[in-house]
């Protein structure tokens, strides 16, 4: 299973992420970084308060790992321009699939 969400776009210098909802690039804030090791477990870092949580997991699917069999990573962002700083809104996902590194924005259900 390949992840297929929204495409990742950058600013004119191809360095700053653009928000997948409003297309602005000056107001994204990293909120929660989650690492999904392929061998199991989940590591979550909350950048607002510095808390680090870890927990075991079953299958990658149960852990919500964006990769089916390999390491995965998600970064939850808030956006100043479309909904307020306090709300976690956007999730950038990185997955491995047969040597490919796949990056997308998770599509939100509205
Ligand atoms: Zn936005």
Question: Which pLDDT belongs to residue 100?
Answer: 92
Find all residues with CB under 8 Å of 58, minimum gap 6, and list them: 40
Give the CA radius of gyration of the chain. 14
55 C-alpha to ligand 1 centroid (Å)? 31
Phi and psi torsions of 61, nearest 5° = -65, -40
Question: Which pLDDT belongs to residue 58?
Answer: 75
User: What is the rounded CA–CA span in Å between residue 63 and residue 31?
Assistant: 19
39 C-alpha to ligand 1 centroid (Å)? 34
20 C-alpha to ligand 1 centroid (Å)? 7
80 C-alpha to ligand 1 centroid (Å)? 6
CB-CB contact of 70 with 83 (8 Å): no
Q: Per residue of the chain (110 residues), give pLDDT as tens.
A: 456 889 999 999 999 999 998 899 999 999 999 999 988 899 999 999 999 999 987 777 777 899 988 999 999 999 988 865 455 578 999 999 888 999 999 987 65
pTM of the predicted model as reported, rounded to 2 decimal places: 0.86
Question: Which pLDDT belongs to residue 45?
Answer: 97
58 C-alpha to ligand 1 centroid (Å)? 34
90 C-alpha to ligand 1 centroid (Å)? 8
Question: Which pLDDT belongs to residue 86?
Answer: 53
């Amino acid at each position: 299973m390949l992840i297929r969400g929204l495409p990742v776009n950058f600013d004119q210098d191809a360095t700053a992420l653009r928000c997948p909802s409003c297309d602005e690039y000056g107001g994204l804030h990293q909120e929660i970084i989650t690492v999904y090791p392929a061998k199991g477990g989940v590591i979550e870092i909350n950048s607002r308060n510095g808390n680090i949580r870890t927990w075991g997991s079953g299958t990658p699917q149960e852990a919500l790992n964006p990769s089916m069999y390999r390491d995965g990573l998600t970064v939850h962002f808030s956006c100043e321009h479309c909904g307020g700083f306090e709300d976690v809104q956007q999730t950038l996902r990185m997955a491995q699939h047969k040597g490919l590194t796949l990056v997308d924005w998770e599509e939100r259900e509205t």
